[in-house]
């Protein structure tokens, strides 16, 4: 099923659910039963084949077709048994017991009684800024489920008790009685089919092929048909939370989670990892988080984070609706809340400090290797900064712009405007220096920033998208506040639209032209090459990599790259996800397309056409 058909089927399911919820659920039950029926029929057919072929081979001469039937029966039996008794991995986390946190378990029991839900068999504590409920089938597609509640320690540190309990009520709402049981069953079935589809993707053989053929037809249709129910279940869980804790408390919890989640990602974690430059030994984050998350979020950051969250649109990549849709559905105000002053970690009682220390120690163990790599990275940046400063009077514009960029990597608040100003004295149209200068100007200097962005667009077409998106992000809140920038905002939005189209054409050229056409050796300097190799070293499945520069007609002077990687032992689905992740995370001076060695391109083609190996993992 292609994406357009998937979207169409989701929309049909949404309309069917809105028109007649009961009929929609009955149709889902019938379609889910079709999957169960297929598995049972395969199991029965496998037994028949085994009995027939086994009797024939035992009672008469060995004939080839009976052997083939026997092997087919074994393969079909194996496929059906895997489907019927597929085991899913339990969520990770440290188990919490009533003895560890009696107040928490008392609160959960009160919520369970009010929602008339089933018991939670396991409560886990992890390091995520999240909470989730999981129902794991005990016997694959067959009945029975074990309930897991996973609570992120940062969530306990960020929210007060009522708002945290609103989150717990939302999660428990997924297990409520009546219609909730049907939704939970569909949810478990979605998980089981997803796991089965992924686990059988690489299987070979006639029976495996037959199973994969059915799954390729059934699985996307089942996911599309059940999408509307899964999204409705999120709204219903919110309704339960509003009923138990109140609409205002639940809405405030969602807004506070959105803002503090953005703060953790954009400010706390970068600062925490920056401390690797001072210490080779990792430092636990949660003790510091306990103090910082109880402090009010800076007003300008909070307003921007909430505004960005409210701009998001619900899509078909996630059954969870976005913040705006959830707040509108519950009738809550779309505004910044009063910040939680007393964190809900007191629900852990006397063991709260013990859990903080334990989670800090666990985080240090889990991140020891990455911390050492980041320490080495920061040391290399410091050495490069020292080298550039030592030759400051001889540096060219590229080196001066790089000096400013590297200083800001070490300290995001460093005053590096002089570096970019010197670079612009040597090369008035240097794009890197213009970008750097715009970043360093204060937010209040709207005219100065717009002037720099206009210059950047005029002298460097490949920077138009960055300049336009920066301008739109800067002007939108000013217009929303009533300032007279509407004409400029329209102008920059038009530029952004044109730039989006140009970027898409450039990307299509990267993807659609033959991989080895119009390529040259990469143009990274020694420092940039070392940074790329350090980034690739963190990607554990990657064995070797080859980087080339791709010359595009759309942007003739832009630095664009293709990175070919060798990922042995991974299924294609994981290879695809890893390559897309590398495209987003690699710090290169231009866009990069990441391709793995497989059937197209093959490892032989890559070795023949890509000059030298850029990275090779040493084998102990």
For the beta carbon of residue 83, count every other beta carbon within 10 angstroms. Answer: 26
What is the Cα–Cα distance from 226 to 111, expressed in whole angstroms? 27
Give the residue-averaged pLDDT of 34-60. Answer: 78
Interior/surface letters 501-516, b for 16+ CB within 10 angstroms, e for the rest: ebbeebeebbeeeebb
The answer to whether 129 and 23 have CB atoms below 8 angstroms apart is: no
SS (H, E, C) 22-46: HHHHHHHHHHHHHHHHHHHHHHHHH
Over residues 294-317, mean pLDDT:
87
How many whole angstroms separate alpha carbon 354 and alpha carbon 532? Answer: 40
End-to-end CA distance of the chain: 44
The answer to whether the peptide bond before residue 544 is cis (omega within 30 degrees of 0) is no
pLDDT at position 292: 94
Q: Which residue has the higher pLDDT, 465 or 214?
A: 465
Mean pLDDT rounded to a whole number for the chain: 86
Highest-confidence range of 71-85, 137-151, 321-335, by mean pLDDT? Answer: 321-335
Highest mean pLDDT among 244-248, 372-376, 508-512: 244-248
Q: What is the mean pLDDT of residues 534-557?
A: 89
Residue-wise pLDDT tens digits, 263-293:
999 899 988 998 988 889 999 999 999 999 9
**Torsion angles phi and psi, residue 126, rounded to 5:** -130, -175
Question: How many other C-beta atoms are found inside a 10 Å radius of the C-beta of residue 449?
Answer: 21
Model confidence at 573, pLDDT cuts 50, 70, 90, reads confident
- What stretches of 331-367 show up as alpha helix (H) in DSSP? 352-366
Q: Tell which residue, 118, 239, 246, has the closest CA to residue 184.
A: 118
Burial of 142 from C-beta contacts in 10 A (0-12 / 13-18 / 19+)? middle
**Lowest mean per-residue pLDDT among 74-88, 143-157, 484-498, 584-598:** 74-88
Question: What is the rounded CA–CA span in Å between residue 590 and residue 151?
Answer: 39
pLDDT at 327 over 70: yes
The confidence score (pLDDT) of residue 179 equals 46
pLDDT of 126 strictly over 80: yes
Which residues, 6 or more positions from 488, have their beta carbon under 8 angstroms from its beta carbon? 450, 471, 475
Q: Is the pLDDT of residue 115 over 50?
A: yes
DSSP 406-442: HHHHH-TT---HHHHHHHHHH-TT-HHHHHHHHHHS-
Q: CA 455 to CA 428: how far, in whole Å?
A: 10
Q: Is the whole model's pTM more than 0.85, yes or no?
A: no
Overall average pLDDT of the 368-382 stretch: 88
Of 374 and 124, the structure prediction assigns the larger pLDDT to 124
């Amino acid at each position: 099923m292609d994406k357009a058909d998937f979207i169409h089927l989701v929309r049909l399911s949404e309309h069917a659910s809105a028109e007649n919820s009961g009929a929609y659920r009955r149709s889902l039950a019938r379609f889910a039963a079709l999957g169960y029926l297929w598995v049972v029929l395969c199991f029965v057919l496998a037994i028949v084949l085994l009995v027939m072929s086994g009797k024939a081979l035992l009672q008469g001469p060995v004939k080839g077709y009976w052997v083939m039937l026997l092997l087919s029966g074994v393969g079909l039996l194996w496929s059906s048994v895997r489907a019927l008794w597929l085991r899913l991995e339990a969520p990770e986390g440290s188990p919490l017991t009533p003895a560890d946190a009696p107040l928490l378990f008392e609160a959960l029991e009160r919520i369970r009684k009010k929602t008339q839900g089933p018991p939670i068999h396991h409560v886990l504590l992890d390091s995520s800024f999240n909470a989730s409920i999981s129902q794991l089938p005990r016997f694959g597609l067959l009945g029975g489920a074990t309930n897991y509640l996973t609570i992120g320690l940062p969530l306990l540190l960020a929210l007060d008790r009522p708002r945290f309990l609103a989150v717990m009520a939302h999660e428990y709402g997924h297990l409520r009685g009546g219609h909730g049981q049907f939704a939970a069953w569909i949810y478990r079935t979605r998980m089981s089919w997803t796991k089965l589809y992924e686990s059988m993707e690489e299987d070979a053989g006639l029976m495996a092929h037959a199973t994969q053929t059915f799954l390729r037809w059934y699985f996307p249709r089942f996911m599309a048909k059940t999408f509307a129910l899964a999204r409705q279940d999120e709204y219903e869980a919110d309704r339960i939370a509003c009923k138990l804790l109140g609409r205002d408390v639940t809405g405030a919890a969602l807004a506070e989670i959105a803002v503090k989640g953005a703060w953790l990602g954009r400010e706390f974690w970068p600062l925490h990892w920056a401390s690797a430059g001072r210490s080779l030994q990792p430092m636990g984050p949660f003790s510091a988080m306990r103090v910082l998350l109880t402090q009010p979020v800076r007003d300008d950051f909070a307003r921007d984070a909430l505004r960005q969250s409210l701009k998001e649109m619900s899509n078909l990549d996630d059954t969870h609706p976005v913040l705006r849709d959830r707040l509108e559905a519950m009738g809550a105000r779309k505004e910044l809340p009063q910040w939680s002053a007393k964190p809900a970690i007191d629900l852990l009682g006397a063991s709260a400090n013990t859990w903080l220390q334990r989670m800090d120690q666990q985080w240090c163990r889990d991140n020891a290797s990455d911390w050492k790599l980041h320490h080495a990275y920061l040391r290399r940046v410091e050495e490069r900064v020292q080298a550039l400063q030592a030759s400051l009077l001889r540096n060219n514009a590229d080196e001066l712009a790089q000096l400013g960029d590297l200083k800001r990597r070490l300290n995001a608040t460093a005053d590096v405007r002089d570096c970019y100003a010197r670079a612009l004295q040597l090369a008035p149209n240097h794009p890197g220096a213009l970008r750097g200068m715009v970043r360093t100007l204060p937010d209040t200097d709207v005219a100065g920033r717009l002037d720099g962005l206009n210059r950047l667009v005029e002298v460097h077409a490949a920077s138009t998208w960055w300049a336009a998106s920066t301008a739109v992000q800067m002007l939108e809140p000013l217009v929303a506040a009533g300032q007279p920038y509407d004409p400029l905002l329209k102008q920059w939005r038009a530029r952004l639209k044109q730039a989006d189209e140009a970027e898409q054409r450039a990307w299509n050229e990267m993807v659609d032209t033959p991989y080895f056409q119009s390529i040259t050796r990469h143009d990274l300097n020694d420092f940039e090459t070392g940074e790329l190799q350090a980034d690739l070293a963190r990607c554990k499945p990657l064995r070797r990599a080859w980087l080339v520069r791709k010359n595009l007609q759309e942007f003739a002077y832009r630095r664009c790259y293709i990175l070919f990687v060798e990922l042995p032992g991974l299924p294609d689905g994981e290879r695809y996800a890893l390559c897309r992740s590398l495209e987003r995370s690699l710090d290169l001076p231009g866009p990069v397309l990441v391709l793995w060695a497989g059937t197209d391109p093959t490892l032989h083609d890559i070795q023949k056409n890509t000059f030298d190996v850029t990275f090779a993992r040493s084998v102990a």
